């Protein structure tokens, strides 16, 4: 099968730059697609970083100014893997240059910033997507399938947590490479934009829109040394956030996230309780979906743990044989596969910038509610 080359220009060489590069390299080996990603160019702040990354991952060329990359005629798609404060400017320029855009989450620091990005891609009519990768863990996609089939019936409760413990030390500085997530000017917020954004995206996808929220946040370590200035500076991000939500379908949501849950590295779990059935998922055991069906015979009724590896299960026919599981990195491969499939069929893969704007609005409402100690409605879109 002859595939048309699809030239990717990646901006950012951190953790996400690696996850996305791996996806572009792998996708053609496992999915039959009309387009073949070509790692055309990578952009980093310094030439040595860009060159080292290019050599490791197989990029053909390097840039140190993202504007030059965006202007290049040999680039079809711009992938934004940079810190959050740069997403808007890069995306607006890439849209104006007619490139497809794949952006790491969260779309931007605030809903006002991301609204400009939504307007830019819609004006330019360029394909776009946001990497909320957990939608494409097969067990999570299976949860969506079960809900859409009506197996849960009316949904009453949605419960999500995302717990980490990597910022407990007061000696950990803020700012700069790897630690910009602690710097509000760069990240926009703490756990709300970084971790709860994942939970919110999955929740909206599985259970529909969130209409109102009431939240509390806390910053446990009030001052940290800033890596870029060398000074002790105020910490303005939310270290922890918990909120209650009302969904448009009448169900109630509870969400909690923190980077201060000793013993938890990336414990993202959700549980959904419906009239007929419940489902539960845990990132630490990501290839399993737990399912309770009240319709089962009483004597065998109980939670079952579905090992999501059969060919009939989402994405799994592309991988190994039943019983052999896949992992975190595959969710990015699936996202790229769906995006390319969407380009070929004309049906955009989700979440587009427009759809990700819903999550931005919920994040903004959560932070506003925490500051005001009031319930806050999300805007109708």
The distance of closest approach from Cβ of residue 62 to ligand SOE in the complex, given in angstroms and rounded to an integer, is: 25
Our CB check for ligand SOE shows the closer of 64 and 269 to be 269
112 binds ligand SOE (CB under 6 A): no
Classify 126 as helix, strand or coil: coil
Q: How far apart are CA 283 and CA 270, in angstroms?
A: 9
Q: How far is the CB of 60 from ligand SOE (least distance, A)?
A: 28
CB of 217 to ligand SOE, least distance (A): 17
Q: Is 324 in the site for ligand SOE (CB under 6 A)?
A: no
In the complex with ligand SOE, the residue whose CB is nearer, 44 or 179, is 179
Pick between residue 123 and residue 265 the one whose CB is nearest to ligand SOE.
265
Q: Which residues contact 91 (CB under 8 A, 6 or more apart)?
A: 78, 80, 101, 103, 117, 120, 121, 128, 353
Contact 110, 133 (CB under 8 A): no
Site for ligand SOE in 247-306 (CB under 6 A): 266
Q: Supply the minimum distance, in Å, between the C-beta of residue 301 and ligand SOE.
A: 34
Closest to ligand SOE by CB, 198 vs 287, is: 198
Residue 76 interacts with ligand SOE (CB under 6 A): yes or no: no
Q: In what order do the strands lie in the sheet with 77-80?
A: 61-63, 35-43, 4-11, 77-80, 100-104, 128-131
194 is an interface residue for ligand SOE by CB under 6 A: yes
Q: Specify the residue, 189 or 214, whose C-beta has the smaller distance to ligand SOE.
A: 189
- CB of 194: closest distance to ligand SOE in angstroms? 5
20-25 long-range contacts (CB < 8 A, ≥24 apart) are 20/79, 20/81, 20/102, 20/104, 20/131, 20/332, 20/336, 21/53, 21/57, 21/59, 22/57, 22/329, 22/332, 22/333, 23/329, 23/332, 23/333, 23/335, 23/336, 24/336, 25/57, 25/58
Considering only residues 144 to 183 of the shown chain, the ones binding ligand SOE according to CB under 6 A are 164
Site for ligand SOE in 195-214 (CB under 6 A): 198
Tokens encoding 114 = 């991301």
State which residue, 266 or 324, has the beta carbon closest to ligand SOE. 266
Instruction: Write down the least CB distance from residue 198 to ligand SOE, Å.
Output: 6
Give least dist CB 190 to ligand SOE, A.
Answer: 10
Number of H helices, E strands in the chain: 11, 17
Binding interface with ligand SOE (CB under 6 A):
164, 194, 198, 266
């Amino acid at each position: 099968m002859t595939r048309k080359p699809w030239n990717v220009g990646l901006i950012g060489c951190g953790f996400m730059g690696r996850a996305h590069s791996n996806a572009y390299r792998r996708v053609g080996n496992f999915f039959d697609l009309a387009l073949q990603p070509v790692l055309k160019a990578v952009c980093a702040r310094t030439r040595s970083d860009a060159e080292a990354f290019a050599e490791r991952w197989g990029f053909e060329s390097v840039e140190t100014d993202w504007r030059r990359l965006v202007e290049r005629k040999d680039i079809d798609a711009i992938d934004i893997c940079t810190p959050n404060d740069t997403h808007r400017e890069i995306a607006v320029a890439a849209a104006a240059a007619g490139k497809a855009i794949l952006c790491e989450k969260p779309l931007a620091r605030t809903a006002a910033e991301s609204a400009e990005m939504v307007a830019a891609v819609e004006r330019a009519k360029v394909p776009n997507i946001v990497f909320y990768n957990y939608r494409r863990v097969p067990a999570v996609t299976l949860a969506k399938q079960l809900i859409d089939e009506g197996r849960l019936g009316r949904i009453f409760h949605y419960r999500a947590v995302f717990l980490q413990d990597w910022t407990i030390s007061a000696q950990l500085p803020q700012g700069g490479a790897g630690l910009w997530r602690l710097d509000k000017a760069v990240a926009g917020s703490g756990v709300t934009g970084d971790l709860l954004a994942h939970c919110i995206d999955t929740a909206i996808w599985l259970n529909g829109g969130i209409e109102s929220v009431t939240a509390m946040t806390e910053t446990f370590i009030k001052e940290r040394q800033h890596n870029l200035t060398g000074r002790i500076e105020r910490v303005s991000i939310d270290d922890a956030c918990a909120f209650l939500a009302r969904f448009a379908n009448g169900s109630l949501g509870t969400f909690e996230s923190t980077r201060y849950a000793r013993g938890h590295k990336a414990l993202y779990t959700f549980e959904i309780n419906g009239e007929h059935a419940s489902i539960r998922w845990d990132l630490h055991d990501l290839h399993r979906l737990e399912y309770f069906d009240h319709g089962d015979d009483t004597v065998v009724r109980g939670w079952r743990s579905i090992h999501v590896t059969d060919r009939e299960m989402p994405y799994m026919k592309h991988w190994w044989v039943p019983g052999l599981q896949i992992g975190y990195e595959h969710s990015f491969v699936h996202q790229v596969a769906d995006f390319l499939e969407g380009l070929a069929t004309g049906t955009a893969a989700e979440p587009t910038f427009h759809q990700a704007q819903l999550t931005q609005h919920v994040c903004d409402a959560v932070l506003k509610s925490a500051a005001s100690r009031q319930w806050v409605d999300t805007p109708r879109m």
